[in-house]
Every structure is written in C-alpha cells, then in structure tokens.
C-alpha cells in the first residue's frame, strides 16, 4: 500500500542535495553477544521502548546482524520504494548488474500505529562474474548502491550488507518493531534508534540506522561539520543523498576502514581527533602519528555533539564526540556488551550488570565478535 503523501513529502524534503541537511537528537541502544549467540528482536524492542521519550514518533529503526543465515554469503539489499513506479526499473537495473538469487517483499504486520508506509523489498544478490573481473565486490556494490540512491527518484537502498538488515521508518521504534515483525528475526548484534527530528518532517529514508555494506550507524546528535565531511566524501565518490548527517559516518567508516585499511583506533582518532594540546604532549612517535592523521584527515573529523554506535559483522563500536556533548554508557554482562544513551534501557533487558561506565569523550569502545568483552581505548 503506497501512500501518495509520502511522495509529496519526499519531494519537499528532497531539496537541492548539495545543501540539504537534517538534524536530529535521539536515543540509541545496541548490544553484541561476543560468542555470536543469537537473540530475537524482542530484547532490543524492549530496550528502545524504555527510551520512548527520547523520540517524538517521527522515526525509529533497527539493525540486526546474523538474521539471514541461509543467504549468509550474499549481499542482502533492503530497498524502500516510496512509489511503485520505480520497482520495475530498479529490478531491471539490478538484473543487469547483479546476480539475484532470491527476492521477496519484506514481511510486515499492518498496525494502526504505523498508518502510512512505503513498499519494502529485499534482494539477495552478488556481483556477476563479468563485473567481478574489474572490481572488488565491495567497491562494486558501493557503486550500485550510490547509483540507485542518486538516479532512481523513488527507491532507496537502506541496507546492503551480508547477513544483516536494517528496518526503519516513521513511528515510534517499538511500533516499527511490531510492524517489521522483528520478534521473528534472530541476530547476534542489534542496534536501535529512537528519533527526534527537529527541522524536517519525518521521512522513512531519513530514519536511522544508516547502512552501507556491513556498516550500520545509529547516531544521537548533530554533526556540525557535515558540510565539510560531505564534500570530503564526495572526493572519494560517496554521494550523500539521504540528507541526514548520520549518513556521513557510515561512509567515513567505509572509507577509513575498508578502503584505507586503518584500524579502529586510528579511525576513531580520525573521527574524534585528540586535541592538539594532548597531541603536543605525547611522545615523539605518537605525536607524529596523530599529527599526520589530523593533517591528512582534517576533512573527515566529526565535529559537534554526537554519540553513535557503529555495527559491522564483526563487532560494535561506540564513540562520543571530543567534548562529550551526548550521553553514552557502556555495560558488560557475561558475554554481552551493551551500549546505550541511558542506563535504564540496558537495565530493562539485563537488570544485573557486571560493569557499567560512561566512556571518555573521544575514546572509542570497541566490542568484537569472538573476543572477550574487553574495553579498548585510544592507547
């Protein structure tokens, strides 16, 4: 069921893409089971529901890893169509450029709490042999995603990773969880987002998480350096089409970690760089290292208040801005690491916790699959 209101709204929201920017303030929560044990979506739903008041019903979403074990080696494309006009064209384009193993509508549960919604389909694909000769799979997939997001008026790829998926929309997150029937999925990493958009009407494509390949980001805050970051990314072929600052985080992580092979500490030091006064008092070797990071990646530094959770197939990373202008707490219980805006959300699903703390500004918390929940930080 397509609601035409959405199309109109989208046209309104979709300003000249060079200038558009949405800001939001939100609640975020996520957890990872270090042993890869799967849990169903009811836990994350309860956790984010506990932070109901951090959103205003104009956006919510979830990312889950490990939900498509039967297609684990294929890229799972979640595509949102806000008009069925484009479905045929997009599918024609996908057939030309990718090998599609399976495609289906994303199952939904119609509820009065989510009155208008676009059309969601998912495709399990991989690049054709012909294209594999010329480009690495991931690079090729990024170019496909960028192409569809830019060139098809009514289609957005909301996630494109392997064995993972993003479910998001307009509404309170607990209602959307019901809508997307998340209780029926099982994953080892879950993140969720409750959105409080402040200057644009809620839009399904503008909800969190934002995902590219394996990366998914939920973000609370506003990236004041968005203009700089977006133009920096454009130099590397990333086009920001979703008009939300969070998008740049996903693309930056993709650039830094996948393309430039930086480790997570280095990538975190790029996104939330240490202050010069701290760098200047470091040992010569570390000083040079951080100086060069800031020199090279000045355009990639994130500025403004933020706390975000970045998930990828192998872990979950939490990062705060340089002066901690947004809340973020981290907790560990058994083999599970939790990260959230509020402790209450964590206590809701795990009343007993071994350890809970608020990480330092600009210091990443990195929780990796198949490792014990160790707290790592920027040296």
Partner 1 sequence: MESNSVAQQEHTEIVDQLGIRSLRPGRYFGSLPQYYVDRDHDKCIRCLVCVRQCSWDATFYDANRNIVYNKYENCVNCKRCVAMCPTQCIRIREWTDGFRDNDNWSDKNIRGIYKQADTGGVLLTGCGNDKEYSTYFDKIVLDASQVTNPSIDPLREPMELRSFIGRKPEKADSSRELSTKDYPNIVAEVPIIFAPMSFGSISYNFQEGLARAATNMGTYFNTGEGGLHPNFYKYGKRAIVQVASGRFGVSATYLKQAAAVEIKIGQGAKPGIGGHLPGEKVTAEISRTRMIPEGSDAISPAPQHDIYSIEDLRLLIYAIKEAVEYSVPVSVKIAAVHNVAAIASGIIRAGADIVVIDGFRGGTGAAPTIIRDNVGIPIEVALAQVDQRLRDEGIRHCGSIIAAGGIRSSADVVKAIALGADAVYIGTAALLAVGCTLCQQCHRGRCAWGITTNRPELLPRLPADFAEERLTNLLRGWSHEIQEMLGLMGLNSIESLRGNRLKLRGVGLTKYELDTLGIEQAGR
Catalytic residues: 26
Closer CB to partner 1, 88 or 261, in the complex: 261
What is the closest distance, in whole angstroms, from the C-beta atom of residue 114 to partner 1 in the complex? Answer: 26
Structure tokens at 344: 């209450």
- β-bridge mates for residue 355, sequence order: 332
Q: Among all chains, which residue has been given the structure tokens 């990236």?
A: 223
The smaller minimum CB distance to partner 1, of residues 324 and 368, is found at 324
Tokens of 358: 């608020």
To 10 degrees, the CA torsion angle through 222, 225, 228, 233?
-50
Q: Cα separation of 48 and 66, whole Å?
A: 20
Nearer to partner 1, 103 or 224 (CB): 224
CB atoms within 10 A of CB 365: 24
| Contact by Cβ (8 Å): 247, 146 | no
* Rounded least distance, CB 213 to partner 1, Å: 18
Cβ at position 25, least distance to partner 1 in Å = 6
Task: Give the binding site for partner 1 (CB under 8 A).
Answer: 15-16, 18-19, 21, 23-25, 198-199, 221-222, 224-228, 231-232, 234-236, 259-263, 266, 273, 275-277, 288-289, 291-299, 301-305, 322-323, 325
In the complex, minimum distance from the CB of residue 299 to partner 1, in angstroms, rounded to a whole number = 7
Q: In the complex with partner 1, which residue's Cβ is closer, 77 or 256?
A: 256
User: If DSSP codes are grouped into helix, strand and coil, which group holds residue 348?
Assistant: helix
Q: 10 vs 322, which CB is nearer to partner 1?
A: 322
Please list, in sequence order, all residues whose beta carbon lies within 8 angstroms of the beta carbon of residue 92, skipping any fewer than 6 positions away. none
Instruction: Tally the residues of the chain.
Output: 379
Contact 79, 125 (CB under 8 A): no
Query: Rounded to the nearest whole angstrom, what is the least distance from the CB of residue 263 to partner 1 in the complex?
Result: 7
In sequence order, which residues have a C-beta less than 8 Å from that of residue 337 and are 6 or more positions away?
Answer: 31, 32, 34, 316, 330, 331, 365, 367, 373
> Apex CA 190: angle with CA 188 and CA 195, to 5°?
175
Cβ contacts of residue 335 below 8 Å, gap of 6+?
33, 34, 35, 37, 372, 373
Q: Are 29 and 147 in contact (CB under 8 A)?
A: no
| Min dist. Cβ of residue 147 to partner 1 (A) | 18
Q: Which is nearer to partner 1, 15 or 102 (CB)?
A: 15
């Amino acid at each position: 069921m397509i609601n035409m209101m959405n199309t109109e709204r989208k046209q309104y929201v979709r300003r000249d893409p060079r200038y558009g920017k949405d800001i939001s303030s939100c609640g975020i929560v996520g957890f990872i089971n270090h042993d890869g044990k799967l849990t169903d979506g009811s836990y994350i739903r309860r956790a984010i529901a506990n932070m109901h008041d951090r959103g205003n019903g104009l956006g919510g979403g979830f990312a889950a890893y490990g939900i498509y074990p039967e297609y684990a080696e294929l890229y799972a494309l979640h595509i949102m169509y806000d008009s069925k006009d484009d479905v045929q064209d997009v599918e024609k384009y996908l057939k030309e450029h990718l090998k599609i193993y399976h495609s289906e509508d994303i199952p939904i549960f119609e509820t009065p709490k989510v009155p208008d919604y676009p059309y969601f389909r998912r495709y399990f694909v991989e690049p054709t042999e012909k294209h594999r000769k010329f480009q690495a799979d991931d690079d090729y997939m990024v170019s496909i995603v960028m192409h569809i997001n830019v060139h098809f008026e009514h289609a957005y790829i909301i996630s494109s990773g392997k064995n993972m998926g993003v479910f998001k929309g307009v509404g309170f997150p607990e209602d959307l969880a019901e809508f997307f029937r998340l209780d029926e999925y099982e994953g080892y990493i879950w993140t969720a987002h409750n959105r409080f958009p402040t200057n644009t009407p809620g839009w399904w494509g503008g909800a969190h998480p934002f995902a590219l390949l394996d990366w998914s980001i939920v973000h609370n805050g506003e990236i004041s350096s968005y203009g700089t970051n977006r133009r920096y990314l454009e130099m590397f072929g990333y086009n920001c089409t979703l008009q939300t600052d969070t998008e740049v985080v996903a693309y930056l992580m993709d650039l830094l970690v996948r393309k430039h092979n930086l480790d997570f500490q280095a990538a975190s030091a790029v996104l939330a760089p240490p202050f010069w006064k701290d760098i200047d008092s470091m040992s010569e070797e570390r000083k040079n290292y951080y100086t060069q990071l800031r020199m090279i990646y000045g355009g990639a530094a994130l500025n403004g208040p933020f706390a975000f959770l970045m998930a990828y197939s192998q872990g979950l990373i939490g990062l705060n801005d340089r002066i901690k202008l947004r809340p973020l707490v981290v907790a560990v219980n058994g083999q599970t690491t939790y990260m959230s805006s509020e402790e209450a959300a964590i206590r809701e699903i795990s009343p007993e916790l071994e350890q809970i703390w608020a990480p330092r500004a600009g210091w990443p918390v990195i929780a990796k699959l198949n490792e014990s929940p160790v707290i790592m930080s920027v040296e």
